[in-house]
Amino acid sequence: MGDHGKDPKSEALLRLKQWLEAGRRLKVRETAEKLGVTRRTFQRYILSLQKLGVPLVYDELPNRERVYYVPFEGRRLQLEVELQQVVALNVALGWLEQFEGNVLFQSLDSLRDKISKWLEERMEAEGERWFSQKFFALPFLPYRYRSGGDAFNDVVSALLHQKKLEIGYRAADHGGDGKSKRAKQSKQAKRHKVQPYSLVFYKGAFYLVGLLDKVAGWGDPTLWSLARMTGTKVLREERYEYPEDWDPSKAFHRMTGMLPGELETVEAHFAVKFYDYLKKERRWPRGSKIVLEKKRVRFAAKLALNDELLNWFLGFGADVKLVKPAWFRDRLADKVRDTAALYG
């Protein structure tokens, strides 16, 4: 008559493997007692784990008892966190790397090791509270990423496994009454096959930089908004060669934002209260000038002139006066007049 229960040895090996990969150090006598086996049986389990490829090492205590463990590079930190929290942590680490240099990443191994040990010594509930408090993403008018499929998960999966991605993509709606046949067709999602390069987080939204498959080899990467994607599908049978020399920072001008534009020197006068914001809180291209005077702050910087910059100036309302270039100032003035007309 067969035994329909679980194999005790297999269960024990699974528990030991999980403990070791989580960073626990296993004393022979103590661990044998927890498993309800003899020390000799525990040693046989250790040999079985080594045959299975678990990278075990051991230290010998003064009483000659061995303590087995897995070096940090062989461990798996199985921490249950929500997707939003993981994204918030990764984005925060990206910011720190950009502004603080590589020192942070040189110490991450030590940091993660300490986190693992910290969680072992505390209740699971407190570990969850630690994550929810220390790394927190505050949404502001968040985008909808679940329209006809989970685009975010598919994009991340395609990036990790270097698989091509098929997406439906809706063009931006630039107005119109929506009654014409052409207007209706423009709102329909068109299908594209893309080779994903980088997932970009910008001003509270996610974008994918990817190469259209039909122009692979000679075209330039294109920027896709995840909020406009529908019916995404990872093409698991279609692998692509990720370019080793790809540098996502080169796809954008780091001082001028997401949109392209001609570089010109912009001159403006700001209210005095914005001096610290302009001087200490924002980064500007080399050669920029920010001068505090009695009644204003004189500002000059070489920037890309586009709608994004225009809207940035508009956000200051009457606390800024754009001086040069004249055509860009006129464009801003027209937008202010059009806005004022809406309110009489």
| Residue 103 CA: distances (Å) to CA of 179, 283, 295 | 57, 21, 42
SS3 10: helix
Going 212 to 218 to 222 to 226, the CA torsion angle's sign is positive
Two tokens, residue 193: 């096959």
Single out the residue of 150, 169, 148, 166 nearest to residue 237, CA to CA. Answer: 166
pLDDT at res. 186:
45
Six-digit token string for 295:
């009644």
Give domain status of residue 195, yes or no: yes
- Whose tokens are 């209210």? That residue is 271
Q: Using 70 as the pLDDT threshold, list the residues of the chain that sit under it.
A: 1-6, 72-150, 172-187, 204, 215-219, 253-259
Q: How far is CA 92 from CA 66, 96, 334, in A?
A: 40, 6, 38
Contact 246, 279 (CB under 8 A): no
Contacts of 217 (CB under 8 A, 6+ apart): none
Is residue 338 in some structural domain?
yes
Position 140 in a domain: no
Q: How many domains does the chain have?
A: 4
Same domain for 225 and 315, yes or no, is no
Specify whether 89 is located in the same domain as 130: yes
pLDDT number for residue 113: 56
Residue 62: predicted pLDDT: 84
- Say whether both 155 and 246 belong to one domain: yes
User: Are 192 and 117 within one domain?
Assistant: no
Residues 99 and 161 in one domain: no
Q: Is the pTM of this model over 0.85?
A: no
Q: Are residues 243 and 165 in the same domain?
A: yes
Q: Which CATH number does the domain housing residue 20 bear?
A: 1.10.10.10
Q: How far apart are CA 184 and CA 42, in angstroms?
A: 70
Interacting residues of 126 by C-beta distance below 8 A, sequence separation 6+:
none
Q: Give Cβ neighbours of residue 47 (< 8 Å, ≥ 6 apart).
A: none
Answer with the one of 225, 251, 277 that is the final residue of a domain.
251
Q: What separation in angstroms does the CA of 125 have from each of 79, 284, 321, 337? A: 12, 44, 53, 56
Longest alpha-carbon distance in the chain: 95
Helix (H, G, I), strand (E, B) or coil at 149: coil
Residues 98 and 161 in one domain: no
Residue 144 domain-assigned?
Answer: no
Which are the contacts of 155, defined by CB distance < 8 A and separation ≥ 6?
165, 196, 199, 206, 208, 226, 229, 232
Nearest residue to 13 (alpha-carbon basis) of 50, 39, 40, 38: 50
156 and 128 assigned to the same domain:
no
**141 in a domain, yes or no?**
no
Asked if residue 44 belongs to a domain, the reply is yes
Residue 125 lies in a domain: yes
Same domain, 276 and 319: yes
Q: Which amino acid is at 292?
A: L
CA dist 200 and 198 (Å) reads 6
Residue 142: inside a domain, yes or no?
no
CATH number of the CATH domain containing 191: 2.30.30
Burial of 221 per CB tally in 10 Å (0-12, 13-18, 19+):
buried
Candidates 287, 318, 326; CA nearest to 303 is: 287
Write down the number of H helices and E strands in the chain.
12, 12
Q: Which domain holds residue 226?
A: 151-173+186-251
Q: Is residue 196 reached through a cis peptide bond, with omega within 30 degrees of 0 on the bond before it?
A: no
| Listed residue (313, 141, 161, 151) closest to 225, CA to CA | 151
111 and 24 in a single domain? The answer is no
Q: Pick from 216, 251, 286: which residue ends a domain?
A: 251
For 170, which DSSP code? P
Domain stops at, among 226, 251, 276: 251
Note whether 288 and 337 are same-domain residues.
Answer: yes
| One domain for residues 130 and 158 | no
Tokens 């966190």 correspond to 81
Total count of residues recorded for the chain: 344
Report pLDDT for 80. 52
